[in-house]
Structure 1
Amino acid sequence: MTSQVEKRLAGLGLELPPDWTPRGQFLPFRKDGVLVYLSGQICEWAGEVTHTGPVADTPEGIAAAKEAAKICALNLIYRLREACEGDLDRVDVILRLGGFVNCHSGFPSSPAVINGATEVFIALFGDDGWHARTAVGVSGLPGNASVEVDAIVRLKD
């Protein structure tokens, strides 16, 4: 059975990535009751980093990084589906996203970049996709990825 969330995903022309091996020694998520803590996901697809940094402070660079953040969101949703035992309709609300942008000192557009991830969550979960958020610039990420995003999600009882 396909969840309503996955139907919306397909309706947006999006798909979840194939499974991949994490780059470090950590769990992809940790559950505590109805809370799911999702480990940071970079802009990786089928084991390859899709966008590398640092992000250029140009309209084109920001647009590309926003796409990278979208890929991070899809990776998070893939792991969230695992945490929900295959049923994304069990998601109650997206509580928080943490966004990290590989950039040079003084880069002013981290929030605009992380909007790429935020927009995916709102498109899939509606009002329950709105979340608290951090968007910060950093000097490097795993695989020299442009963007990394993590999340905290509450499931329905």
Structure 2
Amino acid sequence: MTDAVAAKIAELGFALPQAAAPVAAYVPTVEVGGLLHVSGQLPFVDGKLVTGRLGEDVSLEQGVVAAQACGLMLLAQVKAALGSLDRVERVVKLGAFINSAGTFTDQPKVANGASELMVAVFGDIGRHARSAVGVPVLPLGAAVEVDAVFAVRPA
């Protein structure tokens, strides 16, 4: 395989991080029935976890960057599981969880950080279904967490 998707990521100015190890009793990915389910990923920017709450101490712009970082970690997990991002047939669904103050209502704008990354990397097959949910707290105090489902080609 040519790893064309990895080349596209580099062309966009991004580098995939090292796939993060689970922080509890779960596995990062499960492949079944042609679908790769990727556990929720947290946002690491410049090697540091982005923590805080949107609408309080995290700006909308910081939230978008955090969601994008979650998207990059999702791709790192996919590459670790499949060996190549070129096996992705379609981004099926993203679930975005945004640590939000009660008055914050821009969860969809935050989630766009991950969604727009998938479209930039994969083109039309990066368009996906999505949920964007405000929550009062996330693991380790993270500002954002994103999970995903990808349709994948056989090895």
Work out which of the residue numbers 76, 79, 85 in structure 1 matches 2:77: 79
Counting only pairs closer than 5 Å after superposition, residues 39-78 of structure 1 correspond to structure 2 as 39-44=39-44, 48-49=48-49, 51-56=50-55, 61-78=59-76
Q: Is the 8 A contact 2:37 2:148 kept in 1?
A: yes
**In the alignment, what sits opposite 1:21?**
21
Work out which of the residue numbers 143, 146, 153 in structure 1 matches 2:143: 146
Q: Aligned AA for 2:122?
A: F
Deviation track 1:34-91 (CA, whole Å, cap 9, x = no partner) reads: 1001000011358731x21211279x8001100000100010000111221x111110
Aligned partners of 2:107, 2:34: CA distance in 1, in Å?
A: 30
SS in 1 for 2:59: helix
Aligned partners of 1:2, 1:74: CA distance in 2, in Å?
A: 20
**In the alignment, what sits opposite 2:120?**
123
Aligned partners of 2:42, 2:131: CA distance in 1, in Å?
A: 16
SS in 1 for 2:68: helix
Two-structure CA RMSD over aligned residues (Å): 1.9
Q: Is the 8 A contact 1:102 1:145 kept in 2?
A: yes
1:22, CA displacement in angstroms? 1.9
TM-score normalised according to structure 1 size: 0.91
Gaps of 5+ in 2: none
Structure 2 CA distance for partners of 1:66 and 1:82, relative to 1, 3 Å? same
TM-score normalised according to structure 2 size: 0.92
Aligned partners of 2:56, 2:85: CA distance in 1, in Å?
A: 35
Q: Is the 8 A contact 2:19 2:77 kept in 1?
A: no
The runs of 4+ residues in structure 1 deviating greater than 3 Å are 45-48
**In the alignment, what sits opposite 2:129?**
132
**In the alignment, what sits opposite 1:108?**
105
**Corresponding pairs, count:** 154
Pick which of 115-124 and 12-21 moved more: 12-21
